[in-house]
Chains A and B, each alone.
Chain A
Amino acid sequence: MVSAFRPSALGEALSLMGERRGGRRLVPLAGGTDLMVRWKRSGGLAPALPCPVVFVGHLAELGDVRIEDGSRNAGGEGGAGRGARIRIGAACTFSFLLSHPAIPAPFKEIISRIASPAIRNRGTIGGNVCNASPAGDTLPYLYALDADALLQRSGGIRALPVRTLITGAGSTARQEDELLTSLEVPQAPFNVFFYRKVGARRANSCSKLSFLGLARVEGGVVADIRMCFGAVAPTVVRSPEIEESLKGREIREVREGIPRVVRSYEGLLKPIDDRRSVARYRMEISLRLLEHFLGFELRDGAAMQHNAVHNRAHGTLDEEQP
């Protein structure tokens, strides 16, 4: 019979994670919005999780958001060691993040598209990362910002870039005795933000595909640019090489190079046919969004241009002025 544990503090949770019960390691459960569906049985029955559970959603140590200042390098390759970093506890719910002043507006925009109010009140960022769904909504942003994941065990702590933590569709490099305790998101100044999540309806819909574009344009030159595609490959697609090739260029040059960039990404996206959509549509629209981002959204602008472009309910569509 599967058992479950409710530790009163992080230390106890980590110690439990280090044990075996009935020959199995424990699986952490925070909000449960993924696990309770994945393992559900027919109506009226408790879910049939394959391992004992350790409840972590209530742990205060995991429910915090803090801004940490620049100097410290959290280690691991690729982490942007300088500049402020936001440390987000893994058990922070989406609702909590939406109401927290330290969470940047683009990330809030993305989080607000997740599921529904009741799901957002329970679902956590840690759960979204560890579930590692190809369509995980927080993942494109975490990849784009070179976020790190902090994994703890009784014996110690290590940091891993999120893109390294996630090894494939639904799989991560988290060891069985490790708990994801927080995400560290380096901050960088962007003044262009474009995000589209295409679902099957306007609320409570898994992503068929998503595109995230962030950039800093100064004096007509692209100083920084990040582009991520979600739900069109086993993991988020991001190409630092392609981004590098665009950095330092004038917008005009970037636009002339759009066909080449599109062709490059076309080789990287691997969308599939499934119950929700077809590969052809996913590829076509992903590339249109990319083109649109490079061809239109990438503009010289002073303040953050908040292009909230995923259609809101009729009547109050945010039609941004060019």
Chain B
Amino acid sequence: MRETIGNPVDRFDAPDKIGGRAAYAADLVFESMLHARTLRSVCPHAKILSIHVPELPRGYFVVDRRDVPGKNRVKMIADDQPFFAEELVRYIGEPILLIVGPDGGEIDRILSSIRVQYEILKPVLGIEEADSLGAEHRFVEYAIGKGRPEKAFAEASRVFEAEYRTGLQEHVYLETQGVVGTFDGDRVTVYGSLQCPYYVKSALVQGLGWSEDRVRVVQTTTGGAFGGKEDYPSIIAGHAAFAALKTGRPVRLVFDRHEDMRCTTKRHPSLIRIRTALDGRGTVSGVEVDIRLDGGAYEGLSSVVLQRAMFHCTGVYRFDDVRVGGQVLRTNTVPTGAFRGFGSPQAVFAIEMHMHSLAELLGEDPVDFKLKHLLRTGDSTVTGGTLRERVRMPEMVERALDMSGFRKKAQDFRRGNTDLTSDEAATAFAPAGRKLRGVGVSLFNHGCAFTGSGERDKIKAKVMLRKRADGTVEILTASAEFGQGPSTTLRKIVARTLGIPVSVVMCENPDTDRVPDSGPTVASRTVMIVGKLLERAARDLKAKWDSAPEVETRSEYEQPEYVQWDQEAFRGNAYPVYSWGANVVEVEVDPLTLETAVRGVWGVYDAGRAIDERILHGQLAGGVVQGLGYGAMEVMENGGGEVLQASLSDYMIPTSLDFPAVECALVENPFEHGPFGAKGAGELAFVGAAPALAAAVQSAIGLPLRRIPVTPEHLEEVTRGASSSRAQR
């Protein structure tokens, strides 16, 4: 049997990582290196009246806005965030200045002796408060629609409306943010833990006001990212660069966990209202969705997060008459940013719970109800694009139900739960082992790569391959390895295409001096877009293989013809293709403590084709557990603008004892424009877990859930007054 590309190969980066040899940012040592730490705002909203820095010992420096040679604005989609605060501070943790020097203890002492005088201004905290204050607290607002939803509502036999809420989520990449900035008299080089070397380079060029050839960015081994190192590193790269420039020495800026949790970007909290019209046949005839996201103090890339949330808010369903409105609100809290899923987890949670509740309302089976509305090939998406690909969801859902024993469990649990809760004395006097049980299912998809014409108009990805005289081939792209596997998968694509062993294909961490800009390592685009370009460059290289001892080939992105997108109106194919998935989660809720135990998790996924099955399974399992954390336990709150859970003992991410092994199955559905048919999977992995968990808990307790995380405290609130409450007896 011919070996398929998906057969796993040993990851190239694994031995160095396991053995502790891999060098992460905090491991780098440069001669005469100095350390930098940041003085940050302690007020959520204030005018800085004065800053008093005591006289510094020799060898110690202050670096602040006056040391920004170029523009004091961090280049992002919206350039509204300064490297260092100017007259105003807008969130607790906003950087004001750096203290740089040789000894960490001395830096600590200096920082605590700096006096900042603030004039306190009224902070705006929370979506509802910002919303009530009008346009100046709105970063962006969009509206899309199709068909005639007003007509559907006017003619509806029933209307059901509900509001869904999700909270902050912290990435908790195990390696905190870290960079080292150096200056050799002419050029600045920043080494760091990052996803997008070219984003950082552009930010440095803007901050320094220099030409591009004087700026170099090198990615170091990166210990996890999940989107948290997409936009944020540009800020600290700037800081380290300005400090290196001022001191003439290499400067290391590494966060400890507390600082990282207090100040770096997080997932946008959301408030999503969905209103659905039902016709006489129990089908959804019209949908209105209003999405509000909390952007924190600066806009950054929030506009695109909102877009993705809007383009995913109707889930995998076919609704012909839809109106979607969305806003990103400005609050005086830590700016929110990119995080695996990028707006779709919030949206998919809302629509999946809504569909589940609709089914319950109609007395229908939630799975059948969802399948009844499922998109099919040829259908029109919420942005009016045509779904070209084969949709294998019905069989994927069936497979997930089979793997999990869903249907029988749903039936048995319903009966069992009734027994438990109908007994007045049940919870107190039942054996501790009696539990409320539930199974939940989620159906979801994720648009692969950048929205609309982003690849063609913004990124314009370029890759290079270089055959060396010794017969090895080097991949030159800006793709960053941070655990998700491109340092192995991209090599496989090239090796396979060239027909050479994967061991002679080289791929180093990107250095902007050496690699072309193939775009950021985000949006589940690396295998699908960059991998495809490499496949093309490899075919080209194969044809030219013998033409010279050293051969270079390049490839540049070309948008497939069928992609039609109007960026002004948000109409057309929002994404070139979707990956699809179905999750089932089984839970037990303890009626005594209202703790939820997850007893089983299953997933069936269509990511086109696996380039490496082991790596793909790793992404899926990891994404699911991170998604279960989002749905069950990751509480991060803002108290007066301060992050209340800013340590790993207060912010709970899953441990090995919290969730069982995830059972995953893959379905093949090759995408002609993906390398070997592959599509994106990194974010797909995350999206479905929390909704499936919440649906399972909703089934277990028999009461609707409208927010995550589904904590025991929240369940106590929800079940208060219901028959299982002690107060009733």
Contacts and interface: CB of A to CB of B under 8 A. Distances in A.
B95 to A, nearest CB: 15
B657 A313 contact: yes
Contact of A201 (B104, B432, B590, B655): B655
B256 interface: yes
A319 interface: yes
A3 B503 CA distance: 55
Interface in B648-662: 649-650, 652, 654-660
Contacts of A37: 649
A45 interface: yes
Nearest to B729: A259
B650 A276 contact: yes
A42 B256 contact: yes
A292 B599 contact: no
Contacts of B664: none
B597 A296 contact: no
Contacts of A320: 431-433
B429 A295 contact: yes
A41 to B, nearest CB: 6
A241 interface: no
Given A202-B657, A287-B726, A313-B657, A45 B108 contact: yes
Interface in B409-463: 425, 427-433
A265 to B, nearest CB: 13
A24 to B, nearest CB: 20
Contact of A281 (B105, B713, B726): B713
B726 A311 contact: no
Contacts of A295: 425, 428-429
A76 B365 CA distance: 66
A202 B429 contact: no
Interface string B640-682: 0000110001101011111110000000000000000000000
Given A42-B37, A319-B433, A314 B713 contact: no
Interface of B is mostly: loop
A280 B256 CA distance: 34
Contact of A203 (B255, B644, B658): B658
B658 A198 contact: no
Q: Which secondary structure characterizes the binding site on chain A?
A: loop
Interface string B701-726: 00000000000110011000000001
B598 interface: yes
B25 to A, nearest CB: 12
A289 interface: yes
Contact of A296 (B255, B257, B429, B717): B429
B108 A288 contact: no
Contact of A277 (B430, B649, B656, B713): B713
Contact of A291 (B597, B652, B726): B726
A285 B104 contact: no
Interface in A27-50: 37, 41-46
Contacts of B37: 42
Contacts of A278: 713
A200 B600 CA distance: 19
Given A198-B593, A203-B658, A314-B659, A296 B431 contact: yes
A265 B137 CA distance: 48
B660 A314 contact: yes
Interface string A190-208: 0000101010111111100
A309 interface: yes
B592 to A, nearest CB: 5
A285 B659 contact: no
Interface residues of B, number: 48
A202 B433 contact: no
A41 B427 contact: no
B592 A42 contact: no
Contacts of B108: 41-42, 45
Contacts of B590: 311
A203 B655 contact: yes
A282 B461 CA distance: 54
B652 A201 contact: yes
Nearest to A278: B713
B652 A285 contact: no
Given A42-B256, A43-B255, A315 B660 contact: yes
Interface in A248-277: 258, 275-277
Given A45-B108, A275-B644, A277-B713, A292 B657 contact: no
Contacts of B429: 292, 295-296
Contact of B592 (A44, A288, A317): A288
A322 interface: yes
Nearest to B727: A284
B11 interface: no
B595 A296 contact: no
A42 to B, nearest CB: 5
A322 B652 CA distance: 34
Contacts of B427: 288, 292
B387 interface: no
B251 to A, nearest CB: 15
Contacts of A206: 649
Contacts of B654: 201
A307 interface: yes
B313 interface: no
A109 B600 CA distance: 26
Contacts of A321: 431
Contacts of B597: 311, 314, 317
A295 B590 CA distance: 17
Nearest to B430: A296
Contacts of A41: 108
Contacts of B425: 295
Contacts of A275: 637, 644-645, 650
B433 A289 contact: no
B258 interface: yes
B633 interface: yes
Nearest to B590: A311
B594 interface: yes
B254 interface: yes
A86 to B, nearest CB: 28
B428 A291 contact: yes
Nearest to B600: A314
Given A45-B104, A296-B431, A309-B432, A280 B655 contact: no
Interface in B575-615: 590, 592-595, 597-600
A311 B595 contact: yes
B259 interface: yes
A295 B726 CA distance: 13
Contacts of B595: 198, 311
Contacts of A44: 104, 256
Contacts of B726: 284, 287-288, 291
B713 A201 contact: no
A296 B105 CA distance: 57
Interface in A68-95: none
Given A203-B656, A276-B650, A313-B657, A296 B428 contact: yes
A44 B35 CA distance: 11
Interface in B472-519: none
Given A295-B429, A307-B432, 10 more contacts: A43-B255, A206-B649, A276-B650, A280-B717, A292-B429, A311-B590, A313-B656, A320-B432, A321-B431, A322-B431
Interface of A: 37, 41-46, 194, 196, 198, 200-206, 258, 275-278, 280-281, 284-285, 287-289, 291-292, 295-297, 307, 309, 311-315, 317, 319-322
12 contacts: A45-B105, A200-B633, A206-B649, A280-B716, A285-B593, A285-B716, A288-B428, A288-B726, A314-B597, A314-B599, A320-B431, A320-B432
Closest 7 A/B residue pairs (Cβ): A43-B256, A319-B433, A202-B657, A314-B660, A291-B428, A203-B657, A203-B655
